[in-house]
């Protein structure tokens, strides 16, 4: 009987030892992340590299399996630096919005929001801030019909125009809906009377274009850019510089002008 007990204990010990050994090896393997980088297997973008390298808490436990160390490093670096639709979009905005005191205001171009936006133009987010804007609307079915206005909240004004309560010039239901094609932002330092002056000046520029026989929508839109340049050239404080945003694609404007 004693011999049987000893045999049973030995078997239990062997089973327990194998279990502990398996568990230990499993934990050791789990501590390391093995990543293959070759011509047939490699990350293709920055987020993929981030996910790949964040699977472990210690960098030394990430083991890259490769035949060429320099090639693997180059592939990872190229993937991290590779631009995508959003990084290019943000870069475009930063180049337009960032300036230093030595920057010539006349060289700061318009922000072509629609051309750089990576998705549909209708998905562009209209600002909800109440900092003040001077904007231009176009009737969707007839781009020769436009409206220039101003207000503290751009989204609220557009909503009211399309409900027929924004202004007399946009109240007629036959000429709705209206589309936002451009706006001037950065007017937090201006009060209503100053915005109204800018609104009248923009209307005056467009009226001059029409009197010369220039009925092109692109020319009328660009009068906003001209107004911004004139303001910034005469404004010594860079913090009070304003910006011109275009929310209609250039190809859409060209198509409208050929109709």
* Cα Rg of the chain, angstroms: 31
- Rounded Cα distance between 211 and 101, Å, is 38
- Dihedral Cα 91, 97, 101, 104, nearest 10 deg: 90
Q: What is the pLDDT of residue 4?
A: 42
Q: What is the pLDDT of residue 71?
A: 87
Q: What is the pLDDT of residue 200?
A: 95
Q: What is the pLDDT of residue 111?
A: 66
DSSP-derived pairing of the beta strands 133-139 and 111-112: unpaired
Predicted TM-score of the model (pTM): 0.61
β-partners of residue 151 are 133
Could you say which residues of the chain have pLDDT below 70? Answer: 1-31, 84-86, 88-89, 92-123, 250-259
Q: What is the pLDDT of residue 134?
A: 95
3-state secondary structure of 202: helix
Q: What is the pLDDT of residue 184?
A: 93
């Amino acid at each position: 009987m004693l011999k049987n007990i000893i045999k049973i204990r030995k078997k239990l010990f062997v089973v327990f030892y194998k279990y502990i050994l398996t568990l230990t090896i499993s934990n050791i393997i789990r501590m390391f992340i093995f990543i293959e980088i070759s011509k047939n297997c490699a990350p293709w973008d920055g987020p993929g590299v981030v996910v790949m390298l964040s699977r472990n808490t210690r960098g030394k436990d990430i083991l890259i399996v490769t035949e060429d160390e320099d090639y693997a490093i180059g592939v990872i670096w190229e993937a991290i630096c590779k631009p995508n639709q959003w990084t290019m979009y943000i870069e475009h905005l930063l180049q337009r919005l960032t300036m230093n005191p030595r920057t010539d205001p006349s060289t700061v171009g318009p922000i072509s929001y629609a051309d750089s936006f990576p998705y549909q133009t209708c998905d562009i987010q209209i600002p909800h801030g109440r900092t003040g804007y001077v904007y231009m609307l176009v009737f969707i079915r007839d781009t020769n019909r436009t409206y220039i206005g101003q207000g503290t909240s751009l989204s609220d004004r557009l909503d009211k125009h399309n409900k027929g309560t924004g202004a007399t010039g946009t109240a007629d239901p036959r000429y709705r809906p209206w589309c936002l094609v451009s706006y001037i932002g950065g007017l937090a330092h201006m009060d209503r009377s100053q915005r109204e002056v800018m609104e009248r000046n923009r209307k005056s520029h467009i009226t001059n274009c029409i009197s010369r026989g220039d009925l092109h929508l692109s020319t009328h839109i660009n009068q906003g850019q001209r107004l911004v340049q004139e303001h910034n050239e005469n404004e010594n404080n860079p913090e009070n510089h304003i910006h011109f945003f275009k929310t209609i694609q250039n190809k859409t404007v060209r198509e409208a002008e050929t109709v």
